[in-house]
């Protein structure tokens, strides 16, 4: 079923509760009267037309953009800056080319962090065991994005923000990375807010899908995905939900 955003996600104390009364660029409003909350460990996908403000919202939540009216609450605390509790993974890996894979993963601790015991564990988890001494130029695009995800998890965040993280890789790599992310989210118990243009990606990974409309005149619609994670993309239940998401995207003028 499609619900207004305000009716969902209110059962447990939220990990994230973000309110944006107004966010504008050059007096042009991009986000208005938006409220979004995530429970601890919840996976939520954010979909919507290009330019509707998805990346802007992620930057606000991450503390990378503080020029807006509203507030970000993380476990009830007002956030006004970047924090180790929130990891950010971008569309491209953004690795430091002069640092090894291990140094990139442990970047939070500086160069000495490469010997931290968590580094090989994380590299193993993202399927890069033994590649800690490589430089980013010696990696494929998919491998580099795995490093970025390991780096995002290194600080043990409670919330992981991902902005179209798999859009630059081929279709098969993408499925593998989606499955990897599904496993990581469960094992680490981390909440995930994922921006994607891929409806199937949103359906396979999320507990809820939030559909954002450009201009923010309407509150976002939400579609609950009441299926256990990890789940099979081939499942029949997803086909019904897929049509609901497409309908909501049409309603939001995204397609
Ligand atoms: N730094 C900026 N200065 C001026 N306008 C900006 C800036 N950043 C974003 N915008 C504008 O704000 C709007 C929302 O941008 P945003 O990047 O959040 O969209 P998006 O939903 O992530 O789009 P896409 O799906 O294409 O990534 C767009 O119209 C964009 O042009
Ligand atoms: Mg964007």
Q: Considering the chain, what is the average pLDDT of its residues?
A: 93
Q: What pLDDT does 12 receive?
A: 64
Mean pLDDT value across residues 107-136:
95
Least distant ligand from the CA of 254:
1
Domain map (residue ranges) of the chain? 2-85+157-251
172-195: b (≥16 Cβ within 10 Å) or e: ebbbebbebbbebbeebebbbbbb
Q: Is the Cα dihedral 46, 44, 177, 250 positive or negative? A: negative
- Any atom of ligand 1 within 6 Å of the Cβ of 52: yes
Neighbours of ion ligand 2 (CB under 5 A): 55
**What's the pLDDT band for 112 if we cut at 50, 70, 90?**
confident
> Is the pTM of the predicted complex or chain greater than 0.85?
yes
Instruction: Give me ligand 2 centre to Cα 131, in Å.
Output: 30
CATH number for the domain whose boundaries are 2-85+157-251: 3.40.50.300
For residue 128, give the nearest of 171, 161, 176, 194 by alpha carbon.
176
């Amino acid at each position: 079923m499609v619900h207004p955003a305000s009716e969902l996600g209110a059962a447990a104390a939220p990990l994230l509760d973000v309110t944006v009364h107004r966010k504008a660029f050059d007096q042009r409003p991009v986000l208005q009267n938006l409220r979004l909350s995530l429970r601890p460990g919840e996976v939520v996908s954010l979909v919507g037309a290009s330019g509707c403000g998805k990346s802007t919202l992620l930057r606000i939540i991450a503390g990378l953009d503080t020029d807006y009216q509203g507030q970000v609450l993380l476990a009830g605390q007002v956030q006004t800056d970047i924090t180790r509790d929130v990891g950010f993974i971008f569309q491209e890996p953004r690795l430091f080319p002069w640092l090894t894979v291990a140094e990139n993963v442990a970047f939070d601790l500086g160069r000495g962090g490469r010997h931290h015991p968590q580094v090989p564990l994380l590299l193993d988890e993202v399927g890069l065991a033994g590649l800690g001494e490589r430089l980013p130029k010696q990696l494929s695009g998919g491998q580099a994005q795995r490093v970025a995800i390991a780096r995002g998890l290194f600080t043990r965040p409670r919330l992981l923000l991902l902005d179209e993280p798999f859009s630059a890789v081929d279709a098969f790599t993408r499925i593998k990375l989606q499955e990897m992310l599904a496993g990581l989210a469960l094992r680490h118990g981390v909440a995930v807010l994922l921006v994607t243009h891929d409806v199937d990606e949103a359906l396979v990974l999320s507990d809820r899908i939030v559909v954002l409309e450009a201009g923010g005149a309407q509150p976002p619609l939400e579609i609950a995905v009441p299926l256990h994670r990890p789940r099979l993309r081939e499942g029949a239940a997803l086909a019904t939900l897929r049509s609901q998401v497409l309908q909501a995207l049409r309603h939001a003028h995204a397609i």
